[in-house]
Amino acid sequence: MPVASVAALRTAGGSGRCRRGAGSPHVGLNGGRFLMMQRRELVTKAGIALAVSCSMATSPASANGSSAQGLEILPFKPDGYNFWTWRGRRIHYVEQGAGKPIVLIHGFGASAFHWRYNIPELAKKYKVYAIDLLGFGWSEKALVDYEATIWMEQVSDFLREIVKEPAVLVGNSLGGFTTLFTATEVPELVRGVVLLNSAGQFADPNKPAAAPAEEEEGSPLSRFVVKPLKEAFQRVVLGFLFWQSKQPARVEKVLRSVYIDPSNVDEYLVGSITAPTADPNAGEVYYRLMSRFMSNQSRYTLDRLLGKLACPLLLLWGDLDPWVGPAKAARIQEFYADTAVVHLQAGHCPHDEAPEQANQALLEWLDALDARAAPAEPSLQTV
């Protein structure tokens, strides 16, 4: 389900070419040094009714695992990599490298393949996992009620059963929110958090708290007339959007509207986007995600989660994201003291749009995190 409405995905389009920025990033764990990395200008187009998930906003991969720009890339496997059974559901994940663990969590509509430029580089020094959240990518399209808690519980159990030691969690968009939520619920399993243009909202002090579910039922008229009509209308609209997401010609048209270089829009890319929609349950999962989870995000606010966080935090922020701009990163840093910030000239998915710069900044932060955790060397004393 990598194609959805613009309002839901919060996705910025951009060039898929990977180019080196001017200069190298340097970042510490505290103080949040602000850095600007040069990249070709990101162009976005507003007003379209359908947008493509940023998970595929890159150049196509070749069959031998190398990108056209020379970056090492995760080979695409139509049948996926590894599978784990969680609560009777089939969950897809990628595992590469050796060393301290890092877990990568994709955004809305994406999959583990979203990290194709990051996994090979990070795996040179770390044990890297990239997981597909339930309902997305190559994981099972389970017919369940999708709430933020279900992905938090999935990632928490993944850390316990597969990773089996404290890890650094890295998440983009919806994956960023899931990462933060997980870190607050199982702090003993998380030694650091990295957010890339994270989803989630700060509480509005002028807005009353959301009413409990039992109070939302309302009158009999609301329960038996208004609510069924509303759901029927939602199903018609979302069903049409999902049907469009399965049409290769439509997907290609939308991709061309958000790509700077249309040569990156090829059969491989279009096929990768439409493949997950072939699952028989994909349409119903799409409806449940869009109509339920997306309307209930205000129940879990960033200030509430950040108030419980107890580990170092890095923000890798695409400043050209038209929906989640740098002001949000600044507010997160203001709220949580142990935050470092790296600004990238990219859109909603900086790790995919500027992978070399994002990889470099992340690796430097991880080096500083490892040094911070290492025991101090005993000093020599002169007798």
CATH code of the domain covering residue 219: 3.40.50.1820
Q: 114: burial class by Cβ within 10 Å (0-12, 13-18, 19+)? A: buried
pLDDT of residue 295: 55
pLDDT of residue 283: 81
Q: Is residue 68 part of a domain?
A: no
Domain that holds residue 327: 3-61+79-370
Q: Is residue 313 part of a domain?
A: yes
Question: How much of the chain is in helix, strand and coil states, percent to nearest 5?
Answer: 40, 15, 45
Q: Is residue 119 part of a domain?
A: yes
Q: Is residue 73 part of a domain?
A: no
Q: Which residues of the chain have pLDDT under 70?
A: 1-69, 207-247, 251-273, 293-298, 376-383
Q: Token digits for 217? A: 């039922």
- With CA atoms as reference, report the closest residue to 193 among 309, 292, 100, 95: 309
- With CA atoms as reference, report the closest residue to 159 among 183, 194, 195, 136: 183
How many domains would you assign to the chain? 1
H or E stretch at 182: helix 174-185
Q: Is residue 364 part of a domain?
A: yes
Q: Which residues pair with 61 in a beta bridge?
A: 67
Q: Is residue 184 part of a domain?
A: yes
Threshold 0.85, pTM exceeds? no
Q: Give dist(CA 355, CA 349) in Å, integer.
A: 9
Q: Determine contact, residues 321/347, Cβ cutoff 8 Å.
A: yes
pLDDT of residue 299: 76
Q: Within 13 Å, how many C-alpha atoms sit on residue 226's CB side?
A: 8
**With the CA atoms of 9, 12, 13 and 14 taken in that order, what torsion angle do they form, in degrees rounded to the nearest 10?**
-150
Q: Give dist(CA 93, CA 90) in Å, integer.
A: 10
Q: Is residue 379 part of a domain?
A: no
H or E stretch at 160: none
H or E stretch at 350: helix 350-353
Q: Is residue 136 part of a domain?
A: yes
